[in-house]
Amino acid sequence: MIFEYIKLSVRELLNNKLRSFLSLIGIVIGVAVVFIIFSISDIANVAITNQITGTNGSVNINYVKDRTDKFEVLNQSMNSNFGGMGSKQYVFDLNDLEDLKQIKGVEDALAVATAYENVKVNRDTFQVAIRSAPENFMDFYEFKMVAGNSFDAYPKDERINLAIINDKILDDYLQIPAEQAIGQKIKIKNRLFTIAGVTNTPNQNLGTMIAIDQEAYDLMYSKGTIQYLSVKVKPGEDLETTSQLAVDKLNEIHGYQNTKNGYALEDLSFFIQQVTQVTGILSLVMGIIASISLLVAGIGVMNIMLVSVVERTREIGVKRAIGASKSAIRIQFIVESCLLTLIGGIIGVTIGIGVIKIALMVLNMQLPINGSYVAFALVFSITLGILFGYLPSKRAANLNIIEAIQSE
């Protein structure tokens, strides 16, 4: 029986193509905008999380005075995560790296030492992070050379005077091609280094960076001033479980198992939660505003359906005269209204998916389309049809049969 109602509704919509099209526009735009807003919220949350935590499967291990104080752990985590900032501490032992590498699931371990200095290239002076570059530095962060060579292309005795910069320095300060930077001199703490290579920036948390050989770093700064350790987890292994094993191992080695102070994993979950909560509120507000356009479109659908009732008064009277019940008339108009809003919802979702796919391609991100948003948009569209189709359907069902047949 329902298929007969759908068939009649399709025929009626096709008989008034222009009117149906104009009614669809508001629904299509409203659904598309709401879908895009909530999908953008998901994209923003993923982008923020990746920006904060990095994406190469590595986790930082910090030393804190009170592991039970979430705010202290958060503060140390943010310091280490955003470019290695933080106080120099003599609480890490380079010998621990080999023990960490033996843990199941750990691919590599790195001691991170960073200093912030004003450096000079030609006439340009700017402040950047100076990072020590041990043997596994390039592989750990998965750097790729944009121009020039990495340290391992040179004999050990030559590396002490060489530096590698990342492409963000070219973009933010030098504004020269990568090839042109090779061979230029960098002055760090009154010591000259030659740019041997330019890398990409696989992890945006690294910021603008100059890497120098470990021996050169130790000569310029006190040896053993390590900000934090970083462990890289093998692909397929659980990141949280494996990194926690690394922390437990360090605390066991140094006797911090039953103390407040000791080693702790970076914990940016609270910070991420606060940021994503703000983006969620903004998306909700924008979604509510966009939903108003859907309500306006729904009122437009109701108006069109009321006009349709007036135009089809005689038809309704004839149907009632030959035995059609009030409920049958009511259902017919509600189905017609729902079909109209559902078609608008499907078109709107399709447009929304297309826009989001294009945005993901531009941002070079991989994120599945949220099926719950699709279902919500379609259910909401049908609900609009029921709500705004009910009044016209009730009016049609309650028409006086004789007056309806006599109408012109």
pLDDT digits (tens, 9 = 90+) for 111-136: 888 888 889 888 888 888 898 898 88
* 278, two tokens: 């703000």
Closest-CA residue to 268 (of 63, 112, 75, 64): 75
- 138: its two tokens: 């390039």
* Residue 66 backbone phi and psi in degrees, to 5: -145, 105
Give the confidence band of 368 by pLDDT, cuts at 50, 70, 90. confident
- Phi-psi sector, 236: left (phi>0), alpha (psi -120 to 50), beta: left
Take residue 110 and report the two structure tokens written for it: 């790195």
* CA distances in angstroms from 270 to 36, 223, 231, 265, listed in the order given: 27, 34, 21, 13
For 346-359, write each residue's pLDDT tens digit.
999 999 999 989 98
Q: Which residue has the tokens 């912030």?
A: 116
pLDDT band at 165 (very low <50, low <70, confident <90, very high): very high
Evaluate if residue 55 carries a pLDDT over 60.
Answer: no
Q: Does the pLDDT of residue 268 top 60, yes or no?
A: no
- For the chain, how far is it from start to end, CA to CA, in angstroms? 30
The pTM for the full model equals 0.57
Q: Which of 5-9, 39-43, 214-218, 402-406 tops mean pLDDT?
A: 214-218
- pLDDT-derived band of residue 179, with 50, 70 and 90 as boundaries? very high
Looking at residue 212, what is its pLDDT? 93
The pLDDT value recorded for residue 198 is: 95
Which of 274-283, 314-323, 335-344 has maximum average pLDDT?
A: 335-344
> Which of the residue ranges 47-61, 121-135, 165-179 would you say has the lowest mean pLDDT?
47-61
Note the pLDDT of residue 150: 92
pLDDT score for 57: 67
Spatial CA neighbour of 188 closest among 114, 112, 127, 123: 127
CA-wise closest residue to 384 among 351, 328, 343, 330: 343
How does DSSP classify residue 173? I
Q: Which of 174-178, 181-185, 293-297 has the least mean pLDDT?
A: 293-297
Q: Return the amino acid letter for 104.
A: K
- The predicted model gives 367-379 an average pLDDT of 84
Lowest mean pLDDT among 10-14, 138-142, 232-236, 297-301: 10-14
d(CA 78, CA 97): 22
CA distance 187 to 180: 17
Rounded-to-integer distance, Cα 293 and Cα 300, Å = 10
More confident residue, 189 or 275: 189
What was the pLDDT predicted at 95?
82
